[in-house]
Amino acid sequence: MRKTTSITLAVVGVVAFTALFAVSGFNGNDSQLNQVFSPEDQEFLKFITLHGKSYATKEEFQFRQNLFKSNLLKIRMHNAQNGVSYRLGVNKFSDMTPEEYKKRLGYLPHNVDQSKVKYLAPSNGDNTIDWRTKGAVTQVKDQGQCGSCWSFSATGSIEGHNFLTNKQLVSLSEQQLVDCSQAQGNEGCNGGWMDSAFQYAEQTPLETEADYPYEGVDDTCRVDASKETVQVKSYVDVTPNDADQLIAALQLGPVSVAIEADQNIFQSYQGGVINDSSCGTELDHGVLAVGYGTDGGVPYFIVKNSWGPDWGDQGYVKIAATNDNICGILSQPSYPEIVQK
């Protein structure tokens, strides 16, 4: 009984602590607030309020607060450097352990079928392209705590190429891929590969998001043949490790790509062009390249993530479009070809 009472009091204390902040409002010039809370504590309370965080005990509160402060220090140290091309910032992942954060990664590296690799003729086309402005990209989605990034990358490229082939933008079902593509080697929330998703969609057309909605957990496959909407005809593995080849592929439509995203640079990314090697090239996350452009003379790829619009730059990240293979983005690009209706 005493233990239950102490936990309850701890929870009440945390709630009261947060409520006091919420009532006061976050104002760096508020002298009373500055006397009670350190600047880091104020940032943590702002974070709790903004993201609707709640912690069951005082111990968990303190644990999350320490994680937050550690991440905040990394963010400030990076942003204080001269000449950095990208910014880090506090987001919904700022109180997570590395293990918790990595649950959102789920790309399983595979050897590419060399018969699928295609060299694309370089083009002297536009210096910039953004498939979002052309109507070929659906809204930013959120995979939650399921390692289903590969399915979002795959549906994104299928959605884009279906728009270009059949003149209709339809949000497609990631959950169908999570539940039903094990025969192709995918493992649902434990990871998968975009090419394997394309192979599944060659055999079984995808249903819409509305007909087969996302759950964020592994579930029983329940395909309804009467609701099948978009079918893949084939897919292309783009010649790897060549920025011009990925640019050539992007001139044809959105492209599924794999990157390394397990470092703090990605966990806390807020904006700008990632243009250094600190994110690594050990592929663990599937995302969608939707265009390219330049920022201050630095060429970049526009990349759609699946962590919701409250991550990064409204759900997107810019990665340098050079042959340095930043974050591994040039390692395994691929895109589908769609059955025309």
137 contacts 287 by C-beta, under 8 angstroms = no
Beta-strand relationship, 129-130 and 232-238: unpaired
Give whole-number Cα distances, 201 to 116, 154, 210, 305, in Å.
Answer: 16, 10, 17, 21
Query: Measured in whole angstroms, how far is the alpha carbon of residue 91 from the centre of its chain?
Result: 13
Q: Which helix (H) or strand (E) holds 164?
A: helix 149-166
Q: Is 146 in the active site?
A: no
Residue type, 325: N
Q: Which residues have a Cβ under 8 Å from the Cβ of 38 and sit 6 or more positions away?
A: none
- Beta-strand ranges (E) seen in 76-116 are 86-88
The active-site residue out of 149, 180, 189, 279 is: 149
Q: Residue by residue, what is the 3-state secondary structure of 224-244?
A: CHHHCCECEEEEEEECCCCHH
d(CA 189, CA 245): 31
The active-site residue out of 186, 285, 325, 327 is: 285
Q: Is 51 in the active site?
A: no
**Residue written as tokens 């880091």?**
40
Q: The tokens of 165 are what?
A: 């082939």
Q: Helical H runs in 272-319?
A: none
Give whole-number Cα distances, 186 to 35, 135, 199, in Å.
Answer: 54, 29, 11
Q: Is 34 in the active site?
A: no
d(CA 110, CA 9): 51
Catalytic site positions = 149, 285, 305
